[in-house]
Structure 1
Amino acid sequence: MDRMPSDTRPAGHPFTPVDFQLVLLRRMADHNPGPVEDARRALGASPADMREANKRWQAMARSPRGGGAAARYRSVLGAPASRSARRIGDLDCEAWLWPLPLWPALRFEVLLAPGGAVWNEWLVRAPGAPAPALRTLDDLTPWSCTVDEAARAFAPARPLEGSAPTRWALAFTAPDGEGVRREAVAEFTWGLLQRTAVRG
């Protein structure tokens, strides 16, 4: 990945995939400031760049001229790398996937309901990429897995309301490193695991 020194990012530059990755990182920073700082530097961006990207993204989301969430993603990320039909319950959706350099084994997925409304948007495992081995709570390290992967590994997992938009949580029971089964809650941002808390 090419690095872009932060002092060369001109004011008012087009909103790019780099800026979009900064938006994802901004929401993750509350839980994992260390990895977020490393990722921000890998993008060649400053803390001010991250704040500005998030501010601009929020303004785009609120703009009546934005054309909706699907149009916003296409304008920022380009045409999806892949598009496929997806059935979720009784709902026929279309899944759009884009690669992001920060997470090469993942894809950013947008699910569109009939009519084009965005139903969900998060990070998922890239098609063909090996899923992580999730057997105990020790395997649930930050950024190690997606919501779907944790839910499958520790079924039956119970979804919980997230603490903010773009956040999800799962409650489940899993063995710790010594084999003792414990109740736990895993928290996700943009579909990627951020932290796991053991209850009791």
Structure 2
Amino acid sequence: MDAMPPPSRPLPFRPLDFQLVLLRRMADHNPDLVEDARRRLDVPVADMREANKRWQAMLHSRHARSAATRYRSVLGPPESETKRVIGDLECVAWQWPLPLWPELRFEALVSPDGAVWNEWLVRAPGAPAPRLRTVEDLTPWSCTVDEAARAFAPARPLEGTAPTRWGLAFQAPDASGVRRDVAAEFTWGLLQRTAVSEP
């Protein structure tokens, strides 16, 4: 009787798979942008669904690793590690490049005990920041949370509608100079959509 073949080992979760996870969450608001990005990565839709399924399984496994360990395992050593002070607390900002967004970096803020306080996309060091002056400049994927908050200060945080989502409320002029109330929603730190009050 032939011996049974050994069970196949699961494929490693790669940086490409992680980019698909980011896209999967963004597809709720911007399916056309996500579809274009998926084509640039040259992967089928099924791969995006499978990557998200595997990511969720990693998050909810009984043997789940810490977020910091998981990111190092998936993305490799950070491109940079920078000390940050937030209020009275000190942490380290780990940043990784992602080929899909060369002008951005994926950032995790890691506490001294290894907990991840925040995880999102930020502008890459040295990359030019977008010009944000009016509500018309706030197009999907045009800016990050911190860029919008700085451009239209003071901005008030809003509760996100799901994990990995953030919101900001602020005022911004439209193209004719009329100040409008804006609610902006971000996924993984990247702008997805805005709701603008009527003039």
Q: TM-score, normalised by structure 1?
A: 0.93
Structure 2 CA distance for partners of 1:118 and 1:125, relative to 1, 3 Å? same
Classify the secondary structure of the residue corresponding to 2:72.
helix
Shift of the alpha carbon at 1:90? 1.1
Shift of the alpha carbon at 1:108? 0.1
Within a 5 Å distance, the mapping from 1:97-112 to structure 2 comes to 97-112=95-110
Shift of the alpha carbon at 1:199? 2.3
Within a 5 Å distance, the mapping from 1:98-177 to structure 2 comes to 98-177=96-175
Aligned residues: 191
What is the one-letter code of the residue matched to 1:120?
N
Q: Which residue of the other structure, out of 66, 69, 87, is the alignment partner of 2:67?
A: 69
Q: Which residue of the other structure, out of 32, 41, 52, is the alignment partner of 1:54?
A: 52
What is the one-letter code of the residue matched to 1:170?
L
Q: Partner of 2:76 in structure 1? A: 78
Deviations 1:146-174 (A, max 9, x none): 00000000000000000000000100000
Please list every run of at least 4 consecutive aligned residues from structure 1 whose deviation after the TM superposition is greater than 4 angstroms: none
Return the alpha-carbon distance in structure 2 between the equivalents of residues 62 and 74 of structure 1.
Answer: 18
Within a 5 Å distance, the mapping from 1:80-95 to structure 2 comes to 80-95=78-93
Shift of the alpha carbon at 1:130? 1.0
Indicate the larger mover: 41-50 or 90-99. 41-50
Unaligned ranges ≥5, structure 2: 1-8
Classify the secondary structure of the residue corresponding to 2:17.
helix
Unaligned ranges ≥5, structure 1: 1-10
Return the alpha-carbon distance in structure 2 between the equivalents of residues 199 and 94 of structure 1.
Answer: 38
Identity percentage of aligned residues: 75
